[in-house]
Amino acid sequence: MTMLKTPPAARVGGGARLARRAFVVREMGILLALALLIGITAATNPRFLGAQSVKDLLLGSTILAILAVGQAIVIITRNVDLSVGSVLGLSAFATGSLFVAAPGLPIPLVILIGTVLGAACGAINGGLIAAARVPALVVTLGTLYVFRGVDYMWATSRQINAADMPPGFLGMGTATVLGVPVLTLFAVAVLLVVGYYLRSYRSGRELYAIGSDPAAARLLGIPVGRRVFAAFVASGALAGLAGVLYAARFGTLDANAGTGLELNVVAAVVVGGVAIFGGSGSVYGAALGAVLLTTIGAALPTLGVNPFWQRAAVGALILAAIGLDRALAARLGRSLRGRNTHV
C-alpha cells in the first residue's frame, strides 16, 4: 500500500475553504439569533417592528458597528484597542468646536478633520506598540485616560448644543435614503470597503497571518510592525469618523461622550466571531455582533426584562462566543490534520 501525500497547494486551499466555512457558520448563527430575538419581541409587542422603531434600531447600531469594524482589524492581529471610546469623544467635541469657531466650514471637510484626528490618536497607539513593542492592552489602557483627559481639559465643563451646529450637519443624523438612515449608509460603506480590503489585498490577508502566529509571520518576511501600526491607525480613523457621526446624531456634546463605549465594542467584536486570540473572524461578523447587542438592549426592556439580566445576557454571549471559537478552532485543526495525508 502506498501513502500519497496531498500537494501543499491543495492542503492550503482546503484549509482556506474550511476556515471560510467556519466563518459562515458563525455569522449565520448570529443572524439566526438576531432573527429569533426580533421575532419573539415582535410577537410580544408588534410596534417593535414599526418604521420608527426599525430606524431607531439602525441608528443605535451604526456608531457601534463602525467602531466594531475598526476594533476587528486590531483584534485580528492579536491586539486590542481600549481607547476607541475616548477617541470618539475627542473627535466628537472637536467637531462641535470647529462648527462653533467656523460655522461656514464645509461638512465634508469637518468629517475629514475628525477622521484624521482619530487616525492621529491611532498612530500614537500604533507607534508605541509597534516600535516599542509594548503590549497593546497596557498602551491603549493608558491612552484611554490620556485622550479622555485631553478632552476634559479642552471642554473645561463646557457643553456644545445643537444650536451651535449647522442644520445641514444635524440633518445627517435624521435623514434617510429610501427609508435607510444616512448614518447607516456610512456604516455599510465602511463595512464593504474594509471587508473587501481584508479579503482581496495581500496586506489585508497578512493581518490574519500576524494574528495566527506573529513570530512565524516575521520569519515569512511580513512587516509585522508596519501592519500592526496600520491596523491601529485604521481603528483610530474609524473611531474619529464615529465621533463625527455621534455629533451629527446627538447634537449635544460634552467631555463624557463615548465614556465606557470601548467595552461594548470589544463585546460586539467577540460576539461577532472574531477570535480574541487573533487570526480569525471577519468584519461582517463584528458588525452583526454590534447589531445583535443593540437589538438586545432594545428588545429586553420591551419584554420586561430587568436591566441586570440585560448585562448578564451580554456576558453570557461573550463566554459562549469564546467557547465556540475554541471548539471551532479545535475542529478545524483536526480536519486539517486529517487532510495532510491520504491513502
pLDDT in tens, 321-331: 777 666 666 66
Quote the CA–CA distance of 262 and 268 in Å, as a whole number.
10
Residue 312: pLDDT over 50: yes
Q: pLDDT value at position 46?
A: 82
pLDDT band at 6 (very low <50, low <70, confident <90, very high): very low
Q: pLDDT value at position 120?
A: 96
In tens, the pLDDT along 94-136 reads 999 999 888 888 999 999 999 999 999 999 999 999 877 888 9
Answer yes or no: are the C-beta atoms of 238 and 67 closer than 8 Å. yes
Quote the CA–CA distance of 179 and 55 in Å, as a whole number.
8
Q: pLDDT value at position 185?
A: 94
Q: pLDDT value at position 69?
A: 96
CA 303 distance to own-chain centroid: 27
Quote the CA–CA distance of 267 and 38 in Å, as a whole number.
20
Angle, helices 224-250 vs 84-101, to 10°: value is 50
Q: Backbone dihedral region of 157: left (phi > 0), alpha (psi from -120 to 50 degrees) or beta?
A: left
Residue 11: pLDDT over 70: no
Percent of all residues in the chain with a pLDDT value above 90, rounded to a whole number: 40
Average pLDDT over residues 192-206: 92
The three cell numbers of residue 236 are 483610530
The string of DSSP codes covering 258-327 is TTTHHHHHHHHHHHTT--TTSS---HHHHHHHHHHHHHHHHHHHHTT--HHHHHHHHHHHHHHHHHHHHH
In the chain, the domains with their CATH numbers are: 61-332 (1.10.3470)
Q: pLDDT value at position 162?
A: 84
- Selection from 38, 58, 53 nearest residue 180 by Cα: 58
